[in-house]
Amino acid sequence: MVIVESYLIAIVLCFITMLCWGSWANTQKLASKEWKFQLFYWDYSIGVLLLALFFAFTLGSFGSEGRHFIEDLFQADSNALLSAFLGGVIFNLANILIVVAIDIAGMAVAFPVGIGLALVLGVITNYIGAPVGNPYLLFAGVAAVTIAILVDAIAYRRLSGSKESKARNGLLIALAGGILMGFFYRFVASSMSVDFVTLEVGKLSPYTAVVIFSLGLLVSNFVWNTILMVKPLSGEPVKYSDYINKGSLKLHLIGILGGVIWSIGMSFSIIASGAAGFAISYGLGQGATMVAAFWGVFIWKEFKDAPKGTNKLLGLMFSFFIVGLTLIILARIY
């Protein structure tokens, strides 16, 4: 299988992860005028699995190092398989809750709070599980990114003008999603061999782990997404028949594309973790919050009607973000 041993290449992959995780939701935005998010999410989950399988049968099956995908799958023990699968189940619930929170309260509450909390918890749990990197630089970087996320939330709040009760409900759902999001990566990481070159018996390669994770995501969709279709937290109930009767080929392809984009990020994050460490790899990837803010500010023009002084907050947000990412990168060098 293809293995990344260079820290520089690992950092490049982590930045691609950040771009993918911060950009996939644009596909939901493209489809949202005609397509309920619950229906979009079915195609998204399919796209995640398709890309994982593609990488497993290509990058995960080429080369002389490690184990090929099929060989690795059949030698895996039940604990490793269950851990990766649970990672997908937990992520899926977390992601759906954050999407619902965005639908209720908007980006002002949901995205900065949910993904920001996930970044903080994720870096802490992954560093405890595999302490790689300078902890002072690493957590200073996390602190800087956290400040950037808080400033981002303030800027969005100035724009949104949401009612207090609506914002509170969205906040609670975003917090729940963020807590779950902060732990899913550790389940996937614990299913894998620490050494990607000489894989431990019973443990998974990064490519196999992502496939099992993706299966957990898709299978759990029949539980989590079905509940939200029947008893949505906002909007009207959605029928399974709508997926076939109201879904055009274009809408289905947009959803699959969203899943593919996110899955590229997940795969690169896991592959990079061998050289960068799980905490650094996850921390950089969850910088996606600021990538999403970039899309909102410069592409979707969400702040064109913002009150005076908001641009200064946005500049401060991006500044802290850059400082935080720099410190996280340096944590593996010094």
CB atoms within 10 A of CB 128: 10
The two structure tokens encoding residue 76: 């895996």
| Residue at 1 is within a domain | no
64: number of Cβ within 10 Å = 6
Tell whether the model's pLDDT for residue 164 goes beyond 70.
Answer: no
Q: Which of the listed ranges 160-164, 198-202, 234-238, 299-303 does the model predict with the highest average pLDDT?
A: 198-202
Q: Which of 164, 132, 93 is nearest to 7 (CA)?
A: 132
Burial class (CB in 10 A: 0-12, 13-18, 19+), 205: buried
Lowest mean pLDDT among 3-17, 180-194, 316-330: 316-330
* Residues 207, 56 contacting (CB under 8 angstroms): yes
Q: What is the pLDDT of residues 301-322, one digit of tens each?
A: 777 777 888 889 989 988 998 8
pLDDT at 156: 74
- The answer to whether 43 touches 259, Cβ cutoff 8 Å, is yes
| Structural domain containing residue 292 | 7-330
Identify the weakest region by mean pLDDT among 15-19, 71-75, 97-101.
Answer: 97-101
Residue 290 in contact with residue 318, Cβ under 8 Å?
Answer: yes
Please give the average per-residue pLDDT across 192-221, as a whole number.
Answer: 96
Task: Give the start-end residues of each E strand in 23-168.
Answer: none
- Which tokens go with 147? 């400040």
Backbone dihedral angles phi then psi of residue 72, each to the nearest 5 degrees:
-65, -40
Contact criterion met (CB below 8 Å) for 264 and 258: no
Residue 2 lies inside a defined structural domain of this protein: no
Q: How far apart are CA 277 and CA 234, in angstroms?
A: 39
Residue 188 domain flag: yes
pLDDT over 80 at 224, yes or no: yes
For 50-65, write each residue's pLDDT tens digit.
999 999 999 999 987 8
Residue with tokens 């996320």: 149
Q: Residue 116 has what pLDDT?
A: 79
Note the pLDDT tens digit of each residue in 69-85.
999 999 999 999 999 99
Q: Which of 280, 199, 264, 285 is nearest to 3 (CA)?
A: 199
When divided into structural domains, the chain yields a total of 1
6 pLDDT above the threshold of 80: yes
Residue 108 host element (H or E):
none
- Assign 3-class secondary structure to 173-221: HHHHHHHHHHHHHHHHHHCECCCCCCCCCCCECHHHHHHHHHHHHHHHH
Q: Is 141 exposed, middle or buried (0-12, 13-18, 19+ CB in 10 A)?
A: buried
Q: What's the pLDDT at 106?
A: 64
pLDDT in tens, 270-309: 999 999 999 999 999 988 888 887 887 888 777 777 788 8
Alpha-helical regions (H) of 24-77: 25-31, 37-57, 69-75
Question: Residue 167's pLDDT is what?
Answer: 62
pTM score > 0.85 for this model? yes
Q: Which range among 102-111, 159-168, 204-213, 302-311 shows the weakest confidence by mean pLDDT?
A: 159-168
What value does the mean pLDDT take over residues 206-234? Answer: 95
Residue 322, in any domain of the structure: yes
| Separation between Cα atoms, residue 253 and residue 75, nearest integer Å | 35
Mean pLDDT taken over the chain: 89
What pLDDT sits at residue 90? 97
Dist. CA 289–CA 140, nearest whole Å: 18
- Tell me what pLDDT residue 105 has: 67
- In 3-state terms, what secondary structure has residue 67? coil
Q: Which of 183, 200, 223, 229 is nearest to 86 (CA)?
A: 183
pLDDT digits (tens, 9 = 90+) for 134-153: 999 999 999 998 898 888 87
What whole-number distance in Å separates Cα of residue 289 and Cα of residue 63? 35
Burial classification of residue 123, based on how many CB atoms lie within 10 Å of its CB (0-12 exposed, 13-18 middle, 19 or more buried): buried
Q: At 159, is the pLDDT very low, low, confident or very high (cuts 50, 70, 90)? A: low
Q: What's the whole-number mean pLDDT along residues 18-44?
A: 89
Residue 168 lies in a domain: yes
